[in-house]
Structure 1
Amino acid sequence: MSHDSPTEQARRTRRLWWTAAGVATLAAAYGAAQWSLADQVPTGATVAGIDVGGLRHDDAVAALDDAAALLADQPVPVTAGTAETTVLPTDAGLALDAAATIEPLTRFTLHPARLWTHLRGAAEIEPAVTIDRDLLDAAASRLSTELVREPVDGAVVFADGEPVVTPAEPGTQVDPDAVGQVLATGWLAQDHPLELPHEPVEPAITQELTDAAYAAARQIVASPVVVDAAGQHAELPASALADATAFEVVDGALVPTFDGDALLAAVVERTQNLLDAPVNARFQVTGGRPQVTGGTPGTTIDPAALVEAVQAAALGEDRTAVVDVVQQDPEVTAESLEALGVNEVVARFSTSLTANRVRTDNIRLGSERITGTLIRPGETFSLLEALGPITTANGFGNAPVIVGGQFVPGVGGGLSQLATNVFNAGFFAGFEIVEHRPHSVWIPRYPAGREATIFTGSIDLRFRNNTPYGAVLHAFVADGQLTVQVWSTEHFRVETTQSERRNVVPAVTNHSTAAGCTPRAAGSDGFTITNTRRVYRGSTLVIDEAHTWTYRADHGTSCGPAEPPPAPEADAAPEDSAPE
């Protein structure tokens, strides 16, 4: 065992003291360096592109605060695939926390990394951000909705006989949670626009399906299709095929569908008398009673069979489609009309005509128009519809009508007598009265309160056939009378009563000295009257109704100093009917 000499021990002690002193000196210098740099941002440091390098803590915070105010109001562009929009940081609840961003860069620390950062310089610093979670969630939800892009299904259509394609395009869907995360972390730290996470949504009709449909469309119009029917040959050109073809989604595929009616019209157009139209059965009054006429079948080509044949030819190599001509029954058959029970007169009503020839001609023409009209069970009859337009072009002439309380010539004068007869016929047949209105003044040839007028556009006569049988109208002029019959099967029994006249206002003749005065004799008095109707089916009361009507007095006018002319007989009074 060796021992150091006292001299050697002294040297060693001095070396230890010098080493300790050196270390202490270096530590003091390191600490002093860290302390001197503690309040200063490292050189080259930037936050969201804002240079804060070399600034003292308070100056750096102030600089960031100023910049943050501007950044908060600048719209941030965001995208999701091809969709794009913007969002304001303030609307999303985002704000730059300047103090929290600068504090880690300037607080005192002995960690060597801090000194190294100061020596070599800093770069972009991640900013500290404050988040209002409710606002951020709301903004993320809105953006995810705005950035949704629905997929576009592929499509094929024909334009001017040529197929045209709409390409399929995928859509886009965005997750709101992912949107919020990207906004919170990237609105200051990333380049703009911010690309938000998204997923593609494939269209139901992909481009592959669209391409297949386009190929089929080109095949359809590649050349004409010849339809062979009953020995005739109809050549359907590409334009006719295109007009009758559409592409629709069937079982997830885009397939051609053909319009059978359009194809049939194209075939008929290109043939000679290929088909015979069926004739619907109808009622025609012959020998004073309704008879069923017509109801003969015709011929046609079944549209479904035509579609099948043309489709096979248009999509195949053999461009000929063979189809059969088949029988087509009429929509209204004779058997269906005969089953309606139009067998007997169940109601009739007659009134006397006047000596006015034009008026009688109007009534005769109107009678012809409504004769043979079938009212099926449950249907509502309209007299105006049955008459057609009440115009001179439709054959009606000028005869007295009531307009504004005055009797003046009008187109269709006299048709209110037809309306009165039709109303009473329907009344006594037990039909449900839907609409009717008596005249404004009483005309003595009609039952008081139980009559009707019409006026194009405002007053109609309508009733509903509330029986299980059909009803046919027969109106005719004979022996100075107008008669209206209802042919059907007796179903109801009708009882009616009439009240006394009340609130009578006598008609008087008022004298006028005015220039242009037109004298007119006084007509009927004004009064109020009520008619009741009870309709029975067997012993069961079906309808119990009362109708009250008030007529105004038909005052006359005398002109000048002369005595007023004597009043004509009541039966010759004009009336209002169907003014235009």
Structure 2
Amino acid sequence: MGRNDRDRAGARVVLVMLVVLMVLVGGGYVAAYAGSQHKTPRGTTVSGVNVGGRSLMAAAQALRAGLATRVNAPITLDIGGKKQDAMPAEMGLGIDYVASVRQAGAGDSWEPERLWDFYTGGADLDAVVTVSAMTMTDFVAGLAAGSGVTPRDGGVRFDHQRVQVVEPRAGRTIDPQQAQAAITAAFLSNDRTAHIDLVPSAPAVDDEDVQEAVRTFANPAMSGPVALELDTQQVRLQPRDFADALSMRAVDGRLVPQVQAARLVALVKDRLLGHGKPQDAEVALMGGRPHVRPAINGVSFEPASVVAAFTAALVLPEGQRVAPVDVELHEPTFTTEDATALGIEHRVAVYSTTYSVQDDGPDLERAVSLLDGTVIKPGDTFSWATVAGGGYGADALPVATALWNAAFEAGYGDVEHHAPATYGGRSPVGRQATVEGGADLRFSVDSPSGVLVQAKLTGAAPGSPGTVKIVLWSTAAWEVTTSTSARYALVEPATVDGGTDGCVPSAGRRGFSVDVSRHLHSLVDPATADRDETVTTTYAPVDAVVCPG
């Protein structure tokens, strides 16, 4: 047994003897103590506040009052030499006043030490400090975010055709445990300054992690093009195309490849024919002859499928960087077979008209551009109003006339056409067609083959007439011969006075009628009876104008 243990044992014996003596001598001391068992020992202090000789609650109230100034005063935080103040409450610090007094000995006890303390004086104790773990943790985290130097993780960036490395950098930050201990210790101290150290902080992604990311992903990814196969279409992307869609993100201390799906999908769709929408087959002139431009299936896909295929191909060696993508196909409305079945192979009619520079106008070019390339299916009826629109004036006459004559000589049905009210001397007489004033021009394709319309315009110049040329491409179904009658039912023009102001004399023109006939012989079914058709056109006379004098 050590000396201190022997001293404590001896003191305990003395206390017991004292209690026995008090009982033998008389009950006065015992009665006095019994009446004071709920009080703190005389002379007891807690964090410098005298709470001796009081009941538990009275002592707790005295302690609250005595510590009020310190509890509500700011604590100075010295963080690596930079100081700032903070209130204890915002750090989650407080005092358990009852527990602080209870530890001083307030309450019932017949222990010898309790008897001795009560009569001989108490001790100087520290108050019981309470800490809200959540509040303190959040507060210290906020200090760490605004203090020291944040470490910089290493990284990899993709810039066009280059791989750029972000070097890692160590930082300095707060040790949360040391910070909490220092703040708690300074709470009731006289200095009230918490000295918080800044300790080295290593980056989560270091140089070794960066080099591994460069070696295993970044360099292989940028080493060459990637080809994605979507049904029959292949989309080939160069590193300069997809660099902006690549990145590497730090996850648990490693750099993980990331592909921005929206950018990658936009790149792929931009390079797909029709941006992935189905494309109908077409019949168009190529090299001066009609050809079928094949239909293209539309494709749609999930972004995740493209990202998965692309990411897998990125790390493959050169020559193997090809990946198929799961797609959903969408059939076009007009297939390659449909276009081929139209039978548009040969030139079946050509007709040209001329016009002077005085008759040139914007409607000529507008009409030619809208008609050129039009395809009419077998059995369908062409409508000028549907294909070329309306609002045309007299300057569209050469185009409408050339188109009607080409259809007439190809053997197609004359559904609707309108001649000008008067004949202005332009040929062909009786074979003119106008779309002025909203008039329509319609013909039916009476043939097992479709028709491709080719329209071409040669501009007029002074002394040189312009030309409108219409070519109809198909497979001939009719052999057609035409004839034009002599003019008949002549009507002499009337004579009118032109007045004196700006009068321009004119001889006028006769009105008349004329017949244009065609004989049709079927080339598709020789047993079909030949037939004759006649188109009669009647022109009104144009009055003669007489000027005075």
Please give the range of the TM-score, normalised by the shorter of the 2 chains: 0.3 to 0.5
Length-normalised TM-score, structure 2: 0.42
Q: Of the two, which has the highest radius of gyration?
A: 2
